[in-house]
Amino acid sequence: MSDLTGELIDGRYQLIRQMAAGGMATIYEALDTRLDRKVAVKVMHPHLAQDEQFVERFIREAKAAAALSHPNIVSVQDQGWNQHGSPAVFLVMELVEGHTLREYLNEQGALSIDAGIKFLLPVLSALAAAHKMGIVHRDIKPDNILISKEGRIKIADFGLAKGPLLGATMTAESSIVLGSVSYLSPEQVQRGIADARSDVYSAGITAFEIFTGEKPFAGDEPIQIAYMHVNERVPLMSTKRSGIPPELDQLIYRATNSDPDARPRDGGEFHQVLTTIAQALDPNQKQLSLELDIPIAPMRPASKKSSRRERARIEKEKTVAIKKMEDTSENKKVDGKETTAQLRKKKKLSKRVRRNRYIAAGLAIALGIFGWYVLVGPGSKVVVPSIVGATEKQATNALTPLGLSLVITEKRFDEEISDGQIIESDPAGGGKVDAGGAVKAIISKGPERYVIPALVGLTPEAAVNLLAKYPVKVGELKEVYNDKTPKGFVISSSPVTGEKVKRDTTIDLLISKGVETLDVASYVGKSADQALNELTDAGFSVESVDQFSESVLAGAVISQVPSGGAPLPKGAKITLTISKGSQYVFIPNIFSLTEAKARAALTDLELKVIVKKIGAKKVKAVTNIAPKVGTKVKRGSTVTITVG
């Protein structure tokens, strides 16, 4: 989205600088001009603001955080829509100046046991408060754990939260797409469900990374990591790092158990057990107060030590050496002949050989049954990873290492799953299939949308026939006057041509009735003001021309074009010729009038005046006029008056 730095949101929040940007929103440092304090404003990207589901999730984040009051949870202070300037859906939060736990781990590496526990306890305390109110965060990870400059630990981004206070749940597909795959619990990956124990699992994975400096699982594709969380057990931290206290090692191992029932039931129990371990490790240390800030080591340049290599587990096969029995002196013939004792021993030996043969045959049968079980029978089944939400390429990459193939059985429209992503699989994630078998999948074609064809200029019948080829409905056909589209043709459609619509959308058509015509009366001989007012109100374009007339009084209509009595199109041009009165005037009697009054009287008759002055009187009056009084002259003629 475009940078809104400098904008004043909702007439209150002045955006100062851009702090971070993600796929859903951009976070700005801002100034609350009303309370004169700095805040963080999270502004949703404009293209997502048109999506009701994303707006709902955005508002749900505000409700989730606002419902919680805890020193280790980022507080939400306001939420709204910018009504002036750039349109924006925004969320106002307290400004935490510092960095994320992810940045801290990238630079500091694995933390000491004491420091790691101090980081983890505030996180679990915040989760305990959320779980107590029935709110599940569903996206606990180092990126959502903030560390202020003062050392205060705070959980942010309740965007995936759900609970009875929020009144909303999410599907398995949306959880996989929106959650962070490295920290998702197995039940979130397989069934898309989450409760407090899912947060415990994510917190356990975060703790594993805090104490060891690495995640328990790694892979080229996110779907592979999700598969490992479902089908493999998170290892003990002691296998990655020495010096881990056994009780802490077992607690994190329990928190990351694949079985939700085996984990601590919520953040409160996790926090209580970890607190007990912390006190046992350092009895002289007082219990940590969450209201106080904890000392945080300053950020330092990231070390250049090489990443720890994964040590492959190699199992050595035991081989059994079968030694051949050596012949004893008793087995040898005496003088080439067998004695009675030798014959008796030979008989016993034959029985032993037969017995060994029976044992070997039994072992062979057992081995055959075992081979059938593993290679052909139920033992040959392979657990299918969850591939919902993955692309065809990602699913193939996840299935190929397991010896499975992917078969696309159907492509289907879906309002929630994007084009090219898998909607469902058979077997579903967690199911089993024969080794070397195939996993069937249905791929999304994205939301079902149809483009409105060009309908303008068609007849109503042609437009209806064209729309019949699409899975839409024809709505109202409304007729209106139009001076641009001929009568009987489509003026426009609603929705308009080119717009993408859902199946069964109703399309309304606007049909032209042609140009509207009106009957025009004749205004010849009538007042020009009346003619101008009535014709203009009727929608005609009126033009007037002034002209002298010896027969029509001034201000009356001399002629009208077109003449009245016939209908004309609305908006047509009508020209009126308006009388200026007679072209001639009579010279008035202005004798004895002052110069000023005489000049005014003659000017009113549209006559030009020339004044001749005689005598020495201070106030002079008209003594002569030429032409003489009563003479008929044309308007514009020159009249000479003498004053003295």
Selected catalytic residue, list 78, 139, 220, 261: 139
> Which of 273, 225, 529, 590 lies closest to 397 in space, CA to CA?
225
Whether residues 220 and 129 share a domain: the answer is yes
Cα–Cα distance between 146 and 101 in angstroms, integer? 6
Pairing of strands 584-586, 632-634: antiparallel
Q: Are 77 and 33 in contact (CB under 8 A)?
A: no
CA distance 17 to 30: 7
- Do both 165 and 252 map to the same domain? yes
Query: How many angstroms separate the CA atoms of 78 and 58, rounded?
Result: 12
296 part of a folded domain: no
**At 463, which helix (H) or strand (E)?**
helix 460-467
327: pLDDT confidence band, cut at 50, 70 and 90?
very low
Whether residue 300 lies inside any domain: the answer is no
CB 263 within 8 A of CB 201: yes
Residues 181 and 190: their CA atoms lie apart, in Å, by 12
Above 50 in pLDDT, residue 38?
Answer: yes
Task: Please report whether residue 326 resides in a domain.
Answer: no
- Could you tell me if 526 and 636 lie in one domain? no
Pick from 287-301, 313-327, 614-628: least confident: 313-327
139 is catalytic: yes
595 & 632 share domain: yes
Say if residue 133 is in the same domain as residue 50.
no
Model confidence at 85: pLDDT above 80: no
- Nearest-CA neighbor of 26 among 11, 52, 7? 7
Identify the bridge partners of residue 578 per DSSP, sorted by sequence position.
546, 557
- Is 21 a domain residue? yes
Q: Is 560 helix (H, G, I), strand (E, B) or coil?
A: strand
Three-class SS state of 207: helix
Same-domain pairing of 139 and 277: yes
Tell whether 28 and 115 lie within a shared domain.
Answer: no
Token couple for 139: 């996206």
Q: Model confidence over 503-557: pLDDT tens digits?
A: 999 999 999 998 888 888 899 989 999 999 999 988 899 999 999 998 888 899 9
Within 13 Å of residue 292, how many CA atoms lie on the same side as its CB? 7
- Decide which of 94, 122, 139 is a domain's last residue: 94
**Residue 559 maps to a domain:** yes
Is residue 317 included in any domain, yes or no? no
Q: Which pLDDT tens digit goes with each residue over 579-621?
A: 988 889 999 999 989 989 999 999 998 899 999 988 888 888 9
Q: Which of 286-290, 430-434, 483-487 has the lowest mean pLDDT?
A: 286-290
Q: Is the Cβ–Cβ distance between 506 and 452 less than 8 Å?
A: no
Instruction: Tell me the CATH number at 461.
Output: 3.30.10.20
Residue 242 burial (CB count, 10 A):
7
pTM for this structure? 0.47
What's the distance, Cα to Cα, between the start and end of the chain in Å? 88
* Sequential DSSP letters for 104-165: HHHHH-SPPHHHHHHHHHHHHHHHHHHHHTT-B----SGGGEEEETT--EEE---TT-BBTT
Separation CA 595–CA 614 (nearest Å): 12
Sheet holding 98-100, edge to edge: 98-100, 145-148, 153-155
- How many Å apart are CA 129 and CA 74, to the nearest integer? 13
In a domain, 461, yes or no: yes
How many angstroms separate the CA atoms of 580 and 344, rounded?
161
Does pLDDT of 573 surpass 60? yes
> How many C-alpha atoms does 240 have within 13 Å on its Cβ side?
21
Q: What is the pLDDT of residue 248?
A: 96
Q: What pLDDT, on the 0 to 100 scale, is given for residue 588?
A: 93
- CA–chain centroid gap for 185, Å, is 24
CA distance 505 to 507: 6
Question: What DSSP designation does 334 have?
Answer: B
Domain boundary among 222, 249, 281: 281
Q: CB-based burial of residue 134 (10 Å sphere; 0-12 exposed, 13-18 middle, 19+ buried)?
A: middle
Q: Which of 426, 444, 462 is where one domain is finished?
A: 444
- pLDDT (0 to 100) of residue 308: 37
Q: In terms of domains, do 383 and 435 share one?
A: yes
Q: What average pLDDT does this structure show over 256-271? A: 94
> How many whole angstroms separate alpha carbon 642 and alpha carbon 623?
6
Tell me the CA distances in angstroms from 141 to 41, 195, 203, 215, 466, one per residue in order: 22, 16, 7, 11, 54
At 296, is the pLDDT very low, low, confident or very high (cuts 50, 70, 90)? low
CATH code where residue 55 lies:
3.30.200.20
Residue 52 lies in domain: 8-94
Q: Is residue 292 part of a domain?
A: no
Tens digits of residue pLDDT in 335-373: 444 444 554 554 455 555 566 666 666 666 656 655 554
Same domain, 126 and 258: yes
Are 170 and 255 members of one domain? yes
Task: Identify whether the C-beta of residue 434 lies closer than 8 Å to the C-beta of residue 444.
Answer: no
pLDDT of 389-407, one tens digit each? 889 998 888 888 888 999 9
My answer on whether 498 and 639 are in the same domain is no
Q: How many domains, in total, are found in the chain?
A: 6
For residue range 127-182, list pLDDT tens digits in order: 999 899 888 888 899 999 999 988 899 998 775 445 444 433 333 333 333 447 88
Pair 128, 216 in one domain: yes
Closest C-alpha to 91, from 4, 10, 1? 10
| Residue 475, pLDDT above cutoff 80 | yes
Q: 255 versus 82: which is more confidently predicted?
A: 255
